Amino acid sequence: MDNTAAIGKIVAQAGLLVLLGPLVTGFIQKLKARLQCRQGASLWQPYRDLAKLLRKGTVQSDSASPFFRAIPVLVLAATVTTTVMLPVLWAPAGAARLPMGDAILLLALLALARFLCAIGALDAGGAFGGMGASREMTVGLLVEPAMMMAVFSVAVAGGTTDLVHLAARRGMLPALAWQAPDLLALFAMLVLALAETGRIPVDNPDTHLELTMLHEGMLLEHSGPGLACIVLATHTKQIVILTLVAALFFPLGLAEGSEPLEIALAGGALFAKLFALATFLGLVESSYAKLRFFRVPQFLGLGLVCAFLALALRIL
Amino acid sequence: MASSLLWLTPLLSFAIGLAMLLVRDRRVLATLDVAGSLVLLGLTLAITGRVEQGGPVSALGIFRADHVTVLFLVLIGLLAVAVSLVTVGWMRRELARGQMRAERLRYYYALVHGFLATMLVTVLADNLGILWIAMEGTTITSALLVGFHGDKHGLEAAWKYIIVTTIGISFGLFGTVLVYGAAAHAQGGVLAGAMNWSSIVAIAPRLDPGIIRIGFIFVMVGYGTKAGLAPVHMWLPDAHSQAPTPVSALLSGALIKCALFGIIRFHTIARAACGPAFSQGLLLTFGLVSVVVATPFILAQYDLKRLLGYSSVEHVGIIALGLGFGGRLGTYAALLHVINHGVTKALVFLVAGDAIGRYGTRDMRVIRGLLGIAPVAGTLLLMGVFSLAGTPPFSIFISELMIIRAGIAAGRYVILAVFLFAVVTIFAGFIHRVGQMVFGTADASVGREPEARLPVLGLLLLVAAMVLLGVYVPAGLDRVLAHATEIIVG
Amino acid sequence: MSVDLATRLIDVLGGLLLFSTLLILAAGQLFRAIYAVAVQSVFLAIAGAVLGAATGNPDLWIIAGITIVVKAILLPWLLIWVVRRIQIPREIEPVIPINATLGLAAGIVVLAFRLSASLGPVRQAITGNALPVGIALILLGVLVMASRRKALVQMVGLFASDNGIFFTGMAVSQGMPLIIEIGVILDVVLGALVMGILVLRVRSSVDTDIADLEDLRG
Amino acid sequence: MEVHKPSLRGAVWLAHLLILGGASAGATLALRVLIGGAGTLSLTLPRLFPFAEMSLSMDGLSAFFLLVVTLVTAAAALYGPSYLGAHAKAPLVQTFALGGFVACMAGVCCAGDGLTFLLAWEGMTLASYVLVIIDTRNEENTRAGLLYLVMAHAGTAALLVVFLTLSARGQGFDFAALRTAARTLQEPTRTVLFMLALVGFGAKAGVVPLHVWLPKAHPAAPSHASALMSGVMLKVALYGIFRLGFDILAPADGPLPASWGWTVLIVGTVSAVMGVLLALQQHDLKRLLAFHSVENVGIILIGAGLAMLLSRGRGAEPLAVLALAASLLHTLNHAAFKGLLFLGAGSVLSRTGVRNMEELGGLARRMPWTTWLFLLGAVAISALPPLNGFVSEWMTFQALLLGGAKLGGASGLLAGVAASMLALTGGLAAACFAKAFGVTFLGRPRSVHAEHATESPAPMIAGMLLLAGACVALGLLPGYAMRLLDGPTQELLGGLGPSAVVTARGPLVLSGNGAASGLEATSISVTAVAALLALLAAVAWVLRGWPRRAPRRLAPTWTCGMLPSSRFDYTATAFAKPLRLIFAAVYRPRRAIARETGPSPYVVRRLGYTGEVVDLAETMLYTRLKRWITATAQGIRAYSTGRIHGYIAFVLVTLVLALLFFARV
């Protein structure tokens, strides 16, 4: 039965992404530690944190609305939903796969998650939540259009915004038959990925100094399982972004059928890509300082310009 | 019998005027006034009916009523009734405020009816000389009315009014003389009714164009002065703002239309004699100048009644434009606009008079929150001004619409562009000022007496006409207008 | 009297009329202006008589008579009466210098003649130079009103331009219908009365010349 | 707050129920035309004016817009009485004006000839004006009303020229005659007419830079009227653009002039961005919503402009259909969620009497229904899945991408820019509504009014629920919505309808299927995604309680150990500050800080902060124009002396000039 197989594949790779999410974070932390000549926590630390958080009790702000408890869950759900739209191991082109979503929907779902997160931050009241929400939304609305443009520039070439189809088509072209727009778009994506995954120089995931936080600031009032959901969502978002970049620019070694060898190859390819991108994030993070918040727009402007040029060159 | 109506009607109102001189009691005077006006309206309607069935009627060889005439006749009758009703309430306040001395009341009423009579003669006259005499008569009677209060400004306005319009009128007489001369010449010196419009029109194509041109120019400038066309309009805001409110209503609503009537009569002759281009060009020029000149004075105006005066200048200009665009549509629209503007402007003047009475000033910066203290007056003022500014569902929108369409049909795009720009600007200024007056909250010093019933009745009469003509042109009126258009453009 | 003689006489009278109007324009003193307009009216009456004789139309004689009575006697007397009633300085203050006015007057006269010269055959409809002279008289009368400050002088100017109209009116083929003429004159008289009343009321209420009021503006 | 006599309340209720009945009747009629295949309905009106007969006619386009009108009208009619009941000036007048307003809007949509159109159009303006200035003592409202009226009138002047020019050629006002007349015109003339129409309708639709009246006037009206003005009246203006641009003025065959498409696309893009940027800086809830109307009109116009660029004979018909469908669908969607949001704002207003969100807050627990419905609307308008806003914007994106690729060259680039601007708009809108919702409903109450707020009565909730339902339905089942668009798009563009182009597989799948234009299929299923979302949420909800029942306790919000009070909460101003700085070039922000020091300059008693941003269009264009005109008028007036000699001289000169110019043969 074709559809069940398709569903199986989708569920499998979605699950894979969710499971791998924390690992990527762990890897980046480890890398940073090593670059700072520290031992650092183990690769699996993020999993342990999640487990711990899940076991903890909850402290909720007395001024929050009933909706507050639902927010982490929704954020997590929205983030995880995006995983089904990416080609991870397979790129099953053609009518067989049931339509789920495309790049636009993916980015929109991430925006939904961000929106809900901000609502939650404002819900509890207090200045830090609001500050975090305001800044996160600001960065978000600067990143989103740039990312869209980068995606579009590829999509225009592929004639579709459906990532799986794109990947499929790309897979057929020789990987080096790139044109200038691809390079520009890739560069833009890398810049934006830093912002979208909340990394230095845009945001500092490790700080908990209230005035410097962006993303963390919004999570201040969450605790216990709720916080666990959001943290997991953050991990997932990060890996989703990385996979998106991979799917857009290096859709290599994706499996067609389901022979073990193929799958193994695809898995290897996936790991390679994730490794490369994660290393990039780690290197940048440990070799740059965090920017002042009002410098961020200029930094992102770089990505914006590249993305726009990529789109323009593609169309002209 | 119907023909005798033609001279009976003005005579009657003369008689009423004279009779009033003998009466001293206020109530009797008011009753006479209202009753007389009602009878007048009845008579005009009777004439209209007669004309509408049997075509033009003439009497004594110098009076004539055709479809053009009856339009103006009914307008005069309607305004007379409405004004007389409103005068009741207005006069009460004037006496209370000591503006009007009880013993001079009868002169006022008498003059008003004399004024009406002269206007009636003007539009009923077939003989162009009679037309001129009656026109000068209106000047004399109304000049006395303008200066009736006897204060400095009133006298100044009256003087400017009588001097300037008399000059204009004398130009009109000269033009009449020339046309008469041309006609007499064309008839080979046979004088039979050589001065009657009907007979002149009959032979118009044979008249000498050169002399008719000069004649029409004189008439245009002369009667144009009386009609308040720019740039010879300057007496108008003075007179219309200084006159007692009911008189202002009659001046703006009816009198300047009578002057237009004269222009239309000669326009008909000139059209036939020199071809349409000449007289229409002249009309277009005056019309456009009037609209343009009125604009800045409306925008930068603080005196309510002067504002309305300038708006009259604008609308006479619009009528002239309609005639100037020509064709059936333009002429039809211009005639319709005569009715619409007459009704609306009278309404607005009367309501404004009420407001001025309450606030004791004409300065629009002082008047505030009329809607709060006099809901009916406030609403009516708003409606009237919307109509003047040309918004549906009020009458003026329709006639302006038709005029614009006539302009497009005539291909006069530049004139239209200027016209539209001016009209929109005027709209802005108008609504701005009136909005300031109507909305907001009035301060305590303002007269808050309830609105009397009878005057409101008169206003409602006008509003009814205004709204009705805005949503529907009755078949009867349409027929009359169509015939009138026939008469003018052939 | 033969028609061409009448025509010549009319031309002469037209000249005289023009001259008298110029006198009004040049007048530096109120009474001179009034007398000048009276004289002008007399010329007008003569013109009426001449035309009456030429055309044998009795109406014109009547009109001539009326003109003498009303315009040459009644109205000037009225003016003088008003002047005496209100003691005002007798000299005329021009708004624009008298010489400039005369220059304009010359221009106007030229214009009038050029205009009627362009007409051609119709001129037969109107005897002699009556048309251009009439136009000139009217415009000059208005010029007087525009260029002199006193209200009374303005009335004088008004009468002068009325005379112009009458002149042309008589010269138009055998004059206008009688009743019209009478009505017109009636109106003129009434108008003059009303103007007189206004002048007097302003004098009595605020002691200035009514033509100097300029509060209403804009 | 005045309390009205029961009889009055009864009358108001009755009137609103009548409106509701009319709305449902209109809706059924529209649906019959749209899906019932009733064809074009038409009805000849009694001949009121001698120079033209009047008629109503409803084809697909009219029916679609009538549907938009009736949808919001029904909600407003449900909502109105209780809203008026609370606090209302002259409720009967309001009700009457509302009825007239709705009737006129329906009249515009169903007009069969230019005259009916113009009359209904002006009636619409007048009725809405009455609703704007209904609180006649409020100077600000009356000024807003004036501005509104003047701009509407100027627009109407432009429309007059268009319709009259056509009718003068076509010897008649009815659309068929106008169409044939337009066909006889030269292309440049038609372009001029179209631009005039664009100005005329744009002034009403609030496109930048003709939008200045909108954010002033819409909030002034009672909220359900605001909902109608923002949600529907703008659409009626857009109907005019569609009707003239695609139908009446369009050439008989061959593509629409490229200049039209360019203009509309650029205007739309600018409106979208400027609208949302200005909305971000508003603290008055209703004004913020009004600015968002500008934004959404812009989005609709983007679709329309693209459709013009791609239309007929450029080999991209399916894409044109996609673009037009996107823009029409967004029209419907915007009506739904903007109506919902305005009703929500109204319910807040009627309960607290406050419009400034800085003084609100903490309503979530006091007015739960309003809160969650408003949130729904916020998600929808921010174009976030899985609600309807996302669907139409997704279609717009697809159209822009595929169209841009197809067009190539400058037009393609323009499409690309529009796409990225649209993305930016989405982000800004999300930020804006995070702010609006968060500051208004969440946190702690910042004023007594908010403190004592209670939930609105059931009828108002019902009105909101109706629109919320529409938002969800249109979001989850876009495929069915496509069938509504078939009629209009086929009339305007010919060829195959959206349901053929856009939804490849049934009602659940949305797909930018440009097969005909040689582009591959992209298909998403909002329904499936929504289901997945719900499923995952449920799973997560269960899972998080799973390891062991962890204790839950309440504690005050963390404010660095101080005792939290409502003054700690983030204000709207603070929330929007980063953007104020980033986009300072557009906002030209001004701030003034008043500090009141004690005896020593270091002891600060009070700090006052006032900041404001400007609307460039207003300061650059309107203020200057107004100043110029007033100055000129004053100057001219100063010249007129009151001297009678001047008057006489004028008469003399006029006569002489007339003789000189006109006497010669």
Instruction: List, for residues B229-259, the tens digit of each pLDDT value.
Output: 988 999 999 999 999 999 999 999 999 999 9
Residues D185 and D170 in one domain: yes
Of the three residues D219, D252, D285, the one that is the final residue of a domain is D252
**pLDDT score recorded for residue D191:** 94
Distances in Å between the Cα of B375 and the Cα atoms of B364, B370, B372, B456, D336 are 18, 7, 6, 11, 37
In chain B, what are the domain boundaries? Answer: 2-489
Question: What digits encode the pLDDT tens for the residues D201-239?
Answer: 999 999 988 999 999 999 999 999 999 999 999 999 999
Q: Both tokens of residue D70?
A: 């009736």
Tell me whether strands B63-65 and B57-59 are parallel, antiparallel or unpaired. Answer: antiparallel
For C17, list phi and psi in degrees, rounded to 5.
-60, -50
Tell me what ipTM this predicted complex has: 0.88
Among chain A residues, CA nearest to D427: A141
How far is it, in rounded angstroms, from Cα B26 to Cα B34?
12
Whether a cis peptide bond, with omega within 30° of 0, leads into A201 is yes
Q: Is residue D109 part of a domain?
A: yes
Does A160 contact D522 at a Cβ distance shorter than 8 Å?
yes
A62: left (phi > 0), else alpha (psi -120 to 50), else beta?
alpha
The residue behind tokens 């009523």 is B65
**pLDDT score recorded for residue A176:** 43
Number of domains in chain A: 1
Amino acid (1-letter code) at residue C16: L
Question: What digits encode the pLDDT tens for the residues C154-171?
Answer: 999 999 999 999 888 888
Chains that touch A (3 or more CB pairs under 8 A): D
Does D648 contact C146 at a Cβ distance shorter than 8 Å?
yes
Residues D246 and D262 in one domain: no
Of the segments A179-188, A241-250, B248-257, D5-14, which one has the largest average pLDDT value?
B248-257
The SS3 of residue A202 is coil
Confidence grade of residue D129 (pLDDT, cut at 50, 70, 90): very high
Among chain B residues, CA nearest to C165: B174
Q: Does the pLDDT at position C94 exceed 50?
A: yes
Domain of residue D654, residue span: 617-662
How far is it, in rounded angstroms, from Cα C21 to Cα B438?
54
**pLDDT score recorded for residue A128:** 86
**pLDDT score recorded for residue D145:** 92
- Which one, of C196, C174, C197, C212, lies nearest residue C75 by Cα? C196
Choosing among D48, D118, D150, D178, which should be mutated to test the B contact, i.e. which has the most B CBs within 10 A?
D150
For D611, list phi and psi in degrees, rounded to 5.
-135, 155
Q: Are A42 and A76 in contact (CB under 8 A)?
A: no
Of the three residues D219, D237, D252, the one that is the final residue of a domain is D252
How far is it, in rounded angstroms, from Cα D234 to Cα D147?
16
Give percent above pLDDT 70 in chain D: 94
Contacts with B, D 105-164, CB within 8 Å: 118-119, 122-123, 125-126, 133, 136-137, 139, 142-143, 145-146, 149-150, 153-154, 157, 160-161, 164
Q: Which residue has the higher pLDDT, B452 or D278?
A: D278
Chains that touch B (3 or more CB pairs under 8 A): C, D
Amino acid (1-letter code) at residue B220: M
Number of domains in chain D: 3
Does B217 contact D658 at a Cβ distance shorter than 8 Å?
yes
Among chain A residues, CA nearest to D439: A122
Q: What is the mean pLDDT of residues A127-154?
A: 90
Q: Is residue D528 part of a domain?
A: yes
How far is it, in rounded angstroms, from Cα B166 to Cα C97?
25
Which of A90-104, B21-35, C40-54 shows the lowest per-residue confidence on average (mean pLDDT)? A90-104
**pLDDT score recorded for residue A210:** 66
Q: What is the mean pLDDT of chain D?
A: 88
Q: Are D360 and D448 in contact (CB under 8 A)?
A: no
Q: How close A34 gets to chain D, by Cα (Å)?
A: 34
Does D646 contact B217 at a Cβ distance shorter than 8 Å?
no
Residues in A touching D384 (Cβ below 8 Å): 108, 111-112, 115
Which one of D637, D642, D656 has the shortest CB-CB distance to C214? Answer: D642
Q: What is the mean pLDDT of residues A149-173?
A: 80
Residues D196 and D244 in one domain: yes
**pLDDT score recorded for residue A173:** 58
**pLDDT score recorded for residue D506:** 45
Confidence grade of residue C173 (pLDDT, cut at 50, 70, 90): low
Chains B and A touch (3+ CB pairs under 8 A): no
Question: What digits encode the pLDDT tens for the residues D454-503?
Answer: 999 999 999 999 999 999 999 988 878 888 888 888 888 877 777 766 65
Please state, as a whole number, how many other Cβ atoms lie within 10 Å of the Cβ of residue A301. Answer: 14
Q: Is residue D595 part of a domain?
A: no
The 3 state secondary structure assigned to chain B is CHHHHHHHHHHHHHHHHHHHHHCCCHHHHHHHHHHHHHHHHHHHHHHHHHHHHHCCEEECCCEEECHHHHHHHHHHHHHHHHHHHHHHHHHHHHHHHCCCCHHHHHHHHHHHHHHHHHHHHHHHECEHHHHHHHHHHHHHHHHHHHCCCCCHHHHHHHHHHHHHHHHHHHHHHHHHHHHHHHHHHHCCCCCCCCCEHHHHHHCHHHCCHHHHHHHHHHHHHHHHHHHCCCCCCCHHHHHHHHCCHHHHHHHHHHHHHHHHHHHHHHHHHHHHHHCHHHHHHHHHHHHHHHHHHHHHHHHCCCEHHHHHHHHHHHHHHHHHHHHHHCHHHHHHHHHHHHHHHHHHHHHHHHHHHHHHHHHCCCECCCCCCHHHHCHHHHHHHHHHHHHHHCCCCCHHHHHHHHHHHHHHHHCCHHHHHHHHHHHHHHHHHHHHHHHHHHCCCCCCCCCCCCCCHHHHHHHHHHHHHHHHHHHCCCHHHHHHHHHHHHHHHC
Please state, as a whole number, how many other Cβ atoms lie within 10 Å of the Cβ of residue C98. Answer: 15
Q: Is the dihedral of CA D278, D282, D286, D289 positive or negative?
A: positive
How far is it, in rounded angstroms, from Cα B319 to Cα B333?
8
**pLDDT score recorded for residue D267:** 96
Amino acid (1-letter code) at residue A102: D
- Residues D96, D97, D101: CA angle, nearest 5 degrees: 120
Chains that touch D (3 or more CB pairs under 8 A): A, B, C
Of the three residues D252, D270, D299, the one that is the final residue of a domain is D252
Q: Is residue D548 part of a domain?
A: no
Q: Are D243 and D176 in contact (CB under 8 A)?
A: no
Residues D198 and D337 in one domain: no
Residues D379 and D493 in one domain: yes
Distances in Å between the Cα of D507 and the Cα atoms of A160, C65, D528, D548 are 21, 104, 12, 43
How far is it, in rounded angstroms, from Cα B193 to Cα D228?
67
Residues D244 and D327 in one domain: no
The Cα diameter of chain A in Å comes to 59
Q: Does the pLDDT at position D559 exceed 90?
A: no
For B392, list phi and psi in degrees, rounded to 5.
-70, 165
**pLDDT score recorded for residue D471:** 95
Domain of residue A233, residue span: 2-315
Residues D624 and D527 in one domain: no
Instruction: Name the stretches of chain B with pLDDT < 50.
Output: none
Q: Does the pLDDT at position D604 exceed 90?
A: no
Tell me whether strands A58-61 and D552-555 are parallel, antiparallel or unpaired. Answer: parallel
Q: Are B328 and B490 in contact (CB under 8 A)?
A: no
Q: Does the pLDDT at position D507 exceed 60?
A: no
Give percent above pLDDT 90 in chain D: 54
For D57, list phi and psi in degrees, rounded to 5.
-150, 140
Q: Is residue D561 part of a domain?
A: no
**pLDDT score recorded for residue C26:** 87
**pLDDT score recorded for residue C136:** 93
- Which one, of B314, D426, B206, lies nearest residue C122 by Cα? B206
Which one of C122, C138, C151 has the shortest CB-CB distance to B182? Answer: C122
The 3 state secondary structure assigned to D288-345 is HHHHHHHHHHHHHHHHHHHHHHHCCCCCCHHHHHHHHHHHHHHHHHHHHHHHHHHHHH
Does B435 contact D126 at a Cβ distance shorter than 8 Å?
no
The secondary structure of residue D98, as a DSSP letter, is: H
What residues have CB less than 8 Å from B3, skipping those under 6 apart?
B57, B58, B59, B63
Confidence grade of residue A90 (pLDDT, cut at 50, 70, 90): confident
Whether a cis peptide bond, with omega within 30° of 0, leads into D209 is yes
Chains C and A touch (3+ CB pairs under 8 A): no
Q: Are D374 and D588 in contact (CB under 8 A)?
A: no
Residues in A touching D525 (Cβ below 8 Å): 98-101
Sort C133 into a burial class: Cβ within 10 Å, 0-12 / 13-18 / 19+: buried
Residues D219 and D285 in one domain: no
Residues D353 and D499 in one domain: yes
